[in-house]
Amino acid sequence: MGIISAVILLGVLIFIHELGHFLLAKYTGVLVERFSIGFGPVLFKWQKGETEYALSAIPLGGYVKMYGEQPDSEVDEDKADRAFNNKSIFQRFLIVFAGPFFNFILAIVIYAAIFMHGTPRFLTEVGGVTEGSAAAQAGLAKGDMIISVDGVSMKFWDDMSEYIQGKGGKPVVLGIDRGGRTFEVTVTPQTVTDKNIFGEAVKVGRMGVMRGEKNEKVSLAFPQAVSQGVKQTYNVSVLMVTGVVKLFQKVVPADSLGGPIMIVQLAKESAETGAVAFFGFMALISINLGILNLLPIPVLDGGHIFFLIIEAITRRAVSIRVREIANLAGMALLMFVMFFAFYNDIMRLFK
């Protein structure tokens, strides 16, 4: 189940990524010789028009082979205008950038569909009160509904929690609904030290209330769903980029890096949970793939973009020798990271 789920997930992501390169190459007039899902030996292929479409044995990537793509490629005079390297810098940038961009678009589409389908959100029901806390001192009790905070109507727990976290040591007026009777109480959230998603110590406000189980399925109309899809994709992207920075800063432990085995495990778990969880995980990995490919590492799309930026500044292409050395270094780095991630996966299995 895990392997099948992972193959479906990676297959969709690879197809969308390579489709971005393919469509922009076609749009700018570049001759696409092959569109392949997977690497290694070709399992199945067919010719349609001028392009060969292939399914290859190793489902960990894919590629779009374009005519005249390599700097030292020999180009026929009658097809010179269809060679990748004969296109303008801006056109080549669009072709290279389209792959990661399509991964972000896929994430937006998935998140928008999830928001339209509807997601459960917990209501502001008090599920319990910590003894001796600010909430207990203010008289809050299990079953209370917090209907407003500082005069602002409040319905969902996450909105209220986010507001309270920034109010440590400051009095907050809560509107309470207790069995149909409404009243107000003033609570001063205590400032406590907690850990954020990266394990860093942060100061946050806490009232001392636990969330109840009441929730409501919220479905958004198409425009709002798309807007929230863009927002969610942006927030996850920022979180992932921050995570990469924290990894280099040694805030996030290196053994948290995962590889193919982790993807198989998480794909299996999400598929067993349901379609929404599976597609949500797909959106997450799609964003991850988009960000990874934009890193300025040779052999990745980000490395090609970096070379194009240098070419735009210096008005000359980076020499073939420099490209070859950079590509070898980039490949060595990627192999090291893949090996390390695989090692972490195996260690997790033993633990």
Helix (H) or strand (E) holding 178: strand 172-178
Distances (CA, A) of 113 to 17, 195, 213, 276: 19, 32, 25, 9
Place of tokens 């007026």: 173
Q: What angle do CA 323, 328, 329 make, to 5 degrees?
A: 100
Are 203 and 168 within 8 A, CB to CB?
yes
Q: Are 201 and 170 in contact (CB under 8 A)?
A: no
Active site residue 69: no
- Which residue is listed with tokens 């459960």? 120
Tokens of 278: 């599976």
**Amino acid at the residue 71:** P
DSSP state of 37: E
Which one of 18, 52, 77, 125 is the catalytic residue?
Answer: 18
The torsion region of residue 248 among left (phi > 0), alpha (psi -120 to 50) and beta comes to: alpha
Cα separation, 111 vs 104, whole angstroms: 11
DSSP for 224-276 reads: HHHHHHHHHHHHHHHHHHHHHHHHHTTSS-GGG---HHHHHHHHHHHHHH-HH
- Neighbouring residues of 190: CB distance < 8 A, sequence distance ≥ 6: 133, 134, 168, 169, 205, 206, 207, 208
Q: Which helix (H) or strand (E) segment is 18 a member of?
A: helix 2-27
Distance CA 171, CA 186 (A): 6
Nearest to 34 by CA among 72, 67, 76: 67
Residues identified as active-site: 18
